[in-house]
Amino acid sequence: MNAIILAGGMGKRLKPLTDDKPKPMIEISGKPILEWQLLWLKSYDIKQIILCTGYMNENIREYFGNGEKLNMNIQYSIEKDPLGTGGALKNSESYIEPDSNFLVLNGDIMTNMTPPDLALAPSSSDPNLIGIISVVGLRSPFGEVEIDNGCYISKFAEKPLHDDYWINAGVYCFNHEIFSYLPSSGSLESDVFPVLATENKLMAIKQSNIKWRSIDSHKDIEEANNEFGNL
């Protein structure tokens, strides 16, 4: 199975770290996010990779080359101008065989979920289905205080996970029909997924008891170093 990694992000909120490298090349415990992702995919025998790159793409190509050093096959779909996540995926269409399923993941997430779960989801019974999205519980950005009926504090919870609210984890499985919905420039999250949802063409897989983090801030880097450093 092919995996496409959307690795064209600039990472403005992570400056000055991204002044000389693209966001997916920020290091977590001594390795770029992208290398963590590739090794994670390789551990599930997913070795055919398309990297959708843009900002400072030469930095990525110089580091990974054709993937030989990792015993993987890496190809590059390069956007000359920012196309957004939807446009970047559309730009990679020529690398994907018709009638095939493939994984897609954002180039700024860290996780230990099992990616084949998406590919093996029970989709054959629904020919209308185009995509499967991993979702994770919403983690509170703050510590929370639980108060009993008498207004006594009963518990402090440090950034608890709310499994009654779910967010997009940035790991997907699509079939080739997704390309007919993609804009030449635009967002998967804002321009494509809402349309597919109204047509009942998206399915979600709830990912529980896993590690997952999106690297969006300097604090995320610090926390990812603690969380993933021993993997």
Q: Which residues belong to the active site?
A: 159
In angstroms, rounded to a whole number, what is the distance separating the alpha carbons of residues 131 and 174? 4
What contacts 210, CB < 8 A, 6 or more positions away?
111, 112, 113, 136
Q: Is the peptide bond before 16 cis (omega within 30 degrees of 0)?
A: yes
Amino acid identity of 140?
Answer: S
- DSSP characters for 15-60? TTGGGSS-GGG-EETTEEHHHHHHHHHHTTT--EEEEEE-TTHHHH
Cβ neighbourhood burial of 33 (10 Å; 0-12, 13-18, 19+): buried
Closest CA to 174 of 112, 230, 118: 118
